Amino acid sequence: MGFSVAIIVSLAALTSAASVPNANLKRQVSQLQSSYDFVVVGGGTSGLTVADRLTQHLTTKKTLVIEYGDIQFAPGQFDPPTNWITPHPNAPPSWNFNSLPNPEFNGKTAFVRAGQVLGGSSAVNGMFFDRGTKFDHNAMAELSGDDGGPPLTKWNWSGMYSYFKKSVTFTPPSASVAAKYNYTWDEAAYGGTGPVYSSMARFQWADQPVLRRAWQEMGINPVKECADGTKEGICWAPASQHPITALRSHAGNAHYANVQPRANYDLIVKHQVVRVVYPNGPKSGPPRVEVRSLLDNTLFNVTVTGEVILSAGALHTPSILQRSGIGPSAFLASAGISTVIDLPGVGSNLQDHSGPPVTWSYSSPYPSFGPLPSQMTSNATFKAEATAAFSQTPAEGPYTLAGGNSAIFVSLPHMTAQYKTITKKIRKMATDGSASAYLPPDIRTDPAMKAGYKQQLLVLAELLENPDSPSLESPWATSEAPGGAMALSFLLHPLSRGTVRLNLSSPLDQPILDYRAGSNPVDFDLHLAQVRFLRRLFNTTTLQGLGATETAPGAAVAADDAALKGYVKQAAYLSFMHPCCTAAMMPKPKGGVVGRDLKVHGAKGLRVVDMSVLPILPAAHLSATAYAVGEKAADIIIADWE
């Protein structure tokens, strides 16, 4: 393996592009090296993980990262003098997407963000740092197919767990902090020395233990450690933050800024990858990378000799592929792009977590427990104390708690005795073929997409039936959350599938998202079961003792299927910012886009490494998974080139 010919670039073109003066860049555009073996497209969560590892281990090979955003680290979104209720006004930029209207949700759009900065979404996210279950990852491995590849390319739990561990350095809380908040953990789930930090906040608002007691009254049991592959119950999740400073740890600092300068690790920011180009067809890769400077709009090609790694995230990777002529051929034709590889799955398997809240209010006067987050804005003394505490070493106080770090994860069998009615419906629509009517219209009749969806539904039915595999997440939310006390219902394993497609009137801009939420009607059965389960909160002695009064959906609505469905349609958030699965790791005859080695089917020298490659969502927020996928992908690529 390997290649010896040095590469690249039309350096002339590169140097003519406007350079971006930035003190944090280790090299300006004009100083770029004369040859690159690897180009990583997107300096986000997975992309920087791969670039860091490739340059660390393949010391004779040169890697260039091309990032759309700038280098902009502090202040983070939740850093003083702000908290999560009033995010920092100068937080790093994000793409803001409003999806097409969702007909099943009264025409409501999904609002989705994605980081547009070095570090990608890990630099702007909520820092809740949990992992999916072993059931999720074994299901993904099953969907990825058995292509006879080496063990390294198996994506089952045992093939992933070591990469979850490797990616982070977890620092447990001190004994006194642990005792104060009843934190539990098991160091066996960690033990890595990765450059991303995770730790537990040294603060909780006073209503956290209240909800925790109520959860236990609902029959949900605390789980000692939720990061070891099982997490059905009440979970603590570490946050992606430094154990001493409590500042955000993200891909931009962990995998770039904190890396000692390496002669083989280059980055350009403020440049957009337009597409990859195969001058002699996709079998004679690697492709060239066509890049647009965001400063002067010039276009240039980067010639690559090793591989191009697409890591632009689940919303942008499919748009780069489509601009490259890799995607659903009928759609490409409508866009006037000639098809290079007909891959109907590109941008066609969009999934996200979604769901409504249940809400309540407390009897007046407000419960006597405190402090609650409003003190940060209403009480200058409290705020001054919080700011002083944060600047101590180690940092203390409210600012060490970014959002929340606990949640319940509950399986369908633990929510409703009727769970088999639901999974039976799923199996029936999968096996009799009626489910394909729920696929996006432009790929609905494609035999590969139909076969893949059928398999996804069968695998999901199994997950939903498993009493240890969560279907619902409800993160702790303070009684002072915007809109009042609320407990959100996340649908962790949705059945509906949406699309990401280029905007034909401006194909270089953000793509068009069609979430198609609720297009598979069984998602509503799941939403209803989850809301009915969460309403048990209101019957707990803990909440009743505090005079909690349900404000929505209410007993009358909850008692009636049609009325409750109406509530779900009106109240649901259609994205919890976890878009995925738009270049799924599944075989080509199942509508997949990449194989278990993450190579794009039919394309030479082109891989995808980001949250696009998951075939289905895990029962987790995605950043820990994005790092683990980056770590595993790096090992796969290194093994190919070493």
| Residues binding ligand FAD (CB under 6 A) | 41-47, 66-69, 113-116, 120-122, 124-129, 272-273, 311-314, 316, 320, 577-578, 610-611, 621-624, 626
Least separation in angstroms between residue 340's CB and ligand FAD is: 17
User: Within 119-256, where are the H helices?
Assistant: 134-144, 157-167, 175-181, 208-217, 251-252
Q: Which does 385 bind (CB under 5 to 8 A by kind): ligand NAG, ligand FAD, none?
A: ligand NAG
151 binds ligand NAG (CB under 6 A): yes
Q: How many residues interact with ligand NAG (rule CB under 6 A)?
A: 28
34 binds ligand NAG (CB under 6 A): no
Can you name the residues that pair with 290 across neighbouring β-strands? 275, 301
CA dihedral (148, 151, 156, 160) positive or negative:
negative
399 binds ligand NAG (CB under 6 A): no
Q: Which does 126 bind (CB under 5 to 8 A by kind): ligand NAG, ligand FAD, none?
A: ligand FAD
d(CA 16, CA 13): 5
**Cβ proximity to ligand FAD, 45 vs 400, nearer residue:** 45
d(CA 546, CA 542): 7
- Using the rule CB under 6 A, which residue among 154, 262, 425, 604 binds ligand NAG? 154
414 is annotated as an active-site residue: no
d(CA 68, CA 422): 43
**Cβ proximity to ligand FAD, 311 vs 496, nearer residue:** 311
Least separation in angstroms between residue 154's CB and ligand NAG is: 4
Number of CB atoms found within 10 A of residue 194's CB: 23
**Cβ proximity to ligand NAG, 295 vs 299, nearer residue:** 299
Q: Which does 497 bind (CB under 5 to 8 A by kind): ligand FAD, ligand NAG, none?
A: none
- Using the rule CB under 6 A, which residue among 147, 186, 509, 561 binds ligand NAG? 509
59 binds ligand NAG (CB under 6 A): no
- Using the rule CB under 6 A, which residue among 34, 392, 418, 539 binds ligand NAG? 539
Question: Could you tell me which stretch among 24-32, 339-347, 422-430, 500-508 binds ligand NAG (CB under 6 A)?
Answer: 500-508
Task: For residue 480, give the amino acid letter.
Answer: E
- The CA–CA distances, whole Å, from 527 to 105, 358, 422, 500, 540 equal 13, 12, 11, 24, 21
**Cβ proximity to ligand FAD, 46 vs 479, nearer residue:** 46
- Map 358-402 to HEC letters: EEEECCCCCCCCCCCCCHHHHCHHHHHHHHHHHCCCCCCCHHHCC
User: Which residues are annotated binding-site positions for FAD?
Assistant: 45-46, 117, 273
**Cβ proximity to ligand NAG, 87 vs 209, nearer residue:** 209
Least separation in angstroms between residue 90's CB and ligand NAG is: 26
Measured at the CA of 580, the angle between CA 576 and CA 583, to 5 degrees, comes to 165
88 is annotated as an active-site residue: no
Closest C-alpha to 310, from 67, 595, 503: 67
User: Which residues are annotated binding-site positions?
Assistant: 45-46, 117, 273
- The CA–CA distances, whole Å, from 252 to 45, 46, 622 equal 8, 11, 17
Q: Which does 366 bind (CB under 5 to 8 A by kind): ligand FAD, ligand NAG, none?
A: none
Q: Which does 626 bind (CB under 5 to 8 A by kind): ligand FAD, ligand NAG, none?
A: ligand FAD
**In the structure encoding, which two tokens stand for residue 525, read together?**
């059965």
Are the C-beta atoms of residues 250 and 438 closer than 8 Å to each other? no
Catalytic choice (250, 271, 578, 601): 578
d(CA 130, CA 191): 15
Task: For residue 235, give the amino acid letter.
Answer: C
**Cβ proximity to ligand FAD, 45 vs 479, nearer residue:** 45
- The CA–CA distances, whole Å, from 109 to 102, 161, 513, 545 equal 6, 36, 10, 38
Q: Which does 120 bind (CB under 5 to 8 A by kind): ligand NAG, ligand FAD, none?
A: ligand FAD
Residues with catalytic annotation?
A: 578, 621
